[in-house]
Structure 1
Amino acid sequence: MVVERVQALSIAGLKELPAQFIRPDHERPENSKAVEGVSVQVVSLSQPRHSVVNEIAAAAAEWGFFLVTDHGIPPSLIRRLQEVGRVFFELPQEEKETYANDPSCGRLEGYGTKMTKNHEEKVEWIDYFYHVMSPPSKVNHQYWPKIPTTYREVTEEYNKEVLRVTDKVLEVLSEGLGLEGKALKRSLGGEEMELEMKINMYPPCPQPQLALGVEPHTDMSALTILVPNDVPGLQLWKDNHWVAADYLRNALFIHIGDQIEVLSNGKYKSVLHRSLVNKDSTRMSWAVFCVPPNEAIIGPLSELVDEKNPPKFSTKTYAEYRYRKLNKLPQ
């Protein structure tokens, strides 16, 4: 199956967007501009523990999103991660196609385009590369880029660092709910919790005011840990308007996903967000989705449910949740 790649369209010098990329009026960035002057929460992990817990719990409840600094991931490693991703997307098109995925038959890992479709049959201005990064039992290196040759080494090193940060953030979020530190990770499968890497590539777009890189959505993950390049585009829905999440060098952008919202019985919010595109510059981001294994049973934690706080969500396996989300069925 031949898929039209967004990057190839951009390189070819497209002057006007094909109809499938033009969003409905109410979704177009030109008609739904972000408000100015609203700052998202930035949390330094080097603060005393109680300050970290209070700040992250408040941001997760109010925004479903926050930035962390002083997280211990070397800036040089983040730069190397970004470099190996850039090099892959600079390969000749026929080389990239050897990694093409096929979602129609359930093979999601690899190089792809148009990850989601919606009721208007509109598609997003994005190419991506997606693969499982952890645990080792779920990793299939045949899907990972062979070029650049350092891709695997750099990504495995980053995986170790992200696992460490994920553990810390989940501990802090657990404590913010009044639970012991391991409560959330244990519910997400413990050491079987999976990390999935998705490199998002948004090439220059001839009419960015009409298109979206990613349409408004919440992540089905528990957490998403993201590093962008310096081209802005991420926006969050807060108080009935869009807010731009400004770039902060070496910070990690952390999204609360659906599974944490469910486990916390709604105390923490899964953040609605979207990605804009740029006329002149390529935007890229490296998202790591922290998800439970398919067989994990996810529902509001019993410690957070009582007569005054009945469960707000049904309990089901992550596989069923994922199927319903992807097929836009009620949960």
Structure 2
Amino acid sequence: MEVERVQSISTLSVSVNKIPFEFIRSENEQPAITTVQGTMLEVPTIDLDDPDEEKLVALIARASSEWGLFQIANHGIPNEVIKKLQEAGKEFFELPQEEKEVYARPPGSERMDGYGTQLQKEIEGKKGWVDHLFHTIWPPAAINYQFWPKNPPSYREANEEYTDYLKKVSDKLFKCLSLGLGLEGHELKAAVGGDNLVYLLKINYYPPCPRPDLALGVVAHTDMSALTILVPNDVPGLQVFRDGQWYNVDYIFNNLIIHIGDQIEIVSNGKYKAVLHRTTVNKEKTRMSWPVFLEPPSDMVIGPHQKLVVDGESPAKYKIKMFGDYRHCKLNKIPQ
């Protein structure tokens, strides 16, 4: 095996009660030092089924401007559908290592699809305490089933059922976000890809870590997507940077967590803010999460929406760039 997976490192680390040096963050990143203790951040929770569309639009626009993050309740995805998605993902990560390696991301691949450990360049060669599985779930033309696990047998059905519901949630969110900018309901989604928008699922697997005070699952970042829709398991771990401090986020069971990503910040010309967040790990329990990144196609050119740019009053704050180039720069820590 060419790459040592964190799941294997965890087993050894727990037995000796220490972690390899490359997982120990610098002091300005260590969760024990940098987290505001004793406070759970209550991010806005929004009822997506609210019949008052004007109120719903205002709440989503405010949360996206002031937080870049919110939770949605009454989203219409049955609990059973989410449970099946989670069970299938958990079963995959509990397979023997050689079975998981069948789905490994090919070295040097420009696509994200596949099973892996390290995703992007890290400063000082540090590593996150996480393994992951990426694969595209929509649209059909973008899916490569080579990276969809065949075991457990329920995996494909569980993911396809979740995707069917998720598309409806996504469309409603895009409509509200668009109206919140003073645009027509369809214009924001059109600006980031329309019907060619790519739904990229990532399953994060954060195994037990004997030194959660020193390690991070995922380092501080904003999502390069337009929008991220995420469901975690019952182990806390999401942290958000707010007012110059890192806070734990209080998650309400069966809600969906929504992150504003870089592309919506760009298209909105800065009205909506991409949320800076990171993930901590747990000493005894495995944390898992299922974010779906809604991304423009690689060849889609993204820039501030022309209706939101007014010379002299509201100049463009961001460069116009092809999304594939943006992604390459972000993953390789090249200035945009």
- Scaled to the shorter chain, the TM-score interval is over 0.9
Distance change (3 Å), C-alpha of 1:37 and 1:9 = closer
Q: Is the 8 A contact 2:121 2:333 kept in 1?
A: no
Q: Distance in 1 between matches of 2:42 and 2:111?
A: 39
AA aligned opposite 1:11:
T
Shift of 1:107: 5.0
AA aligned opposite 2:254:
N
Q: Distance in 2 between matches of 1:5 and 1:329?
A: 26
Range with greater deviation from structure 2 (33-42 or 300-309): 33-42
Q: 2:241 matched to 1:224?
A: no
Q: What is the TM-score of this pair, normalised by structure 2? A: 0.96
- Please list every run of 5 or more consecutive structure 1 residues that lacks an aligned counterpart in the other structure: none
Shift of 1:189: 1.4
Q: Is the 8 A contact 2:217 2:280 kept in 1?
A: yes
Match of 1:108 among 108, 112, 116: 112
Secondary structure of the corresponding residue to residue 25 of structure 1: coil
Partner of 2:322: 317
Partner of 2:46: 43
Secondary structure of the corresponding residue to residue 26 of structure 1: coil
Q: Distance in 1 between matches of 2:125 and 2:44?
A: 35
AA aligned opposite 2:201:
M
AA aligned opposite 2:182:
G
Number of positions where the alignment pairs a residue of Structure 1 with one of Structure 2:
331
Residue by residue over 1:291-326, the C-alpha shift from the partner in whole angstroms, topping out at 9 and shown as x without a partner, is 000111100001111121100000011111111111
Shift of 1:269: 0.2
Shift of 1:41: 0.2
Partner of 2:313: 308
Q: What is the TM-score of this pair, normalised by structure 1? A: 0.98
Q: Is the 8 A contact 1:117 1:123 kept in 2?
A: no
Range with greater deviation from structure 2 (238-247 or 96-105): 96-105
Q: 2:56 matched to 1:26?
A: no
Q: Distance in 1 between matches of 2:112 and 2:293?
A: 14
Secondary structure of the corresponding residue to residue 156 of structure 1: helix
Shift of 1:37: 4.7
Secondary structure of the corresponding residue to residue 235 of structure 2: coil
Shift of 1:246: 1.4
Match of 1:124 among 113, 116, 128: 128
Q: 2:281 matched to 1:277?
A: yes
Partner of 1:54: 58
Q: Is the 8 A contact 2:40 2:249 kept in 1?
A: no
Mapping 1:1-331, distance limit 5 Å: 2-12=2-12, 13-34=15-36, 36-47=39-50, 48-306=52-310, 307-331=312-336
Aligned residues: CA RMSD: 1.1
Range with greater deviation from structure 2 (40-49 or 213-222): 40-49
- Please list every run of 5 or more consecutive structure 2 residues that lacks an aligned counterpart in the other structure: none
Q: Distance in 2 between matches of 1:208 and 1:23?
A: 10
Shift of 1:108: 3.0
Q: Distance in 2 between matches of 1:312 and 1:113?
A: 34
Secondary structure of the corresponding residue to residue 27 of structure 1: coil
AA aligned opposite 2:3:
V
Q: Is the 8 A contact 1:21 1:122 kept in 2?
A: yes
Percent identity, aligned pairs only, is 51
Moved over 4 A (4+): none
Q: Distance in 2 between matches of 1:245 and 1:103?
A: 35
Q: Distance in 2 between matches of 1:197 and 1:256?
A: 16
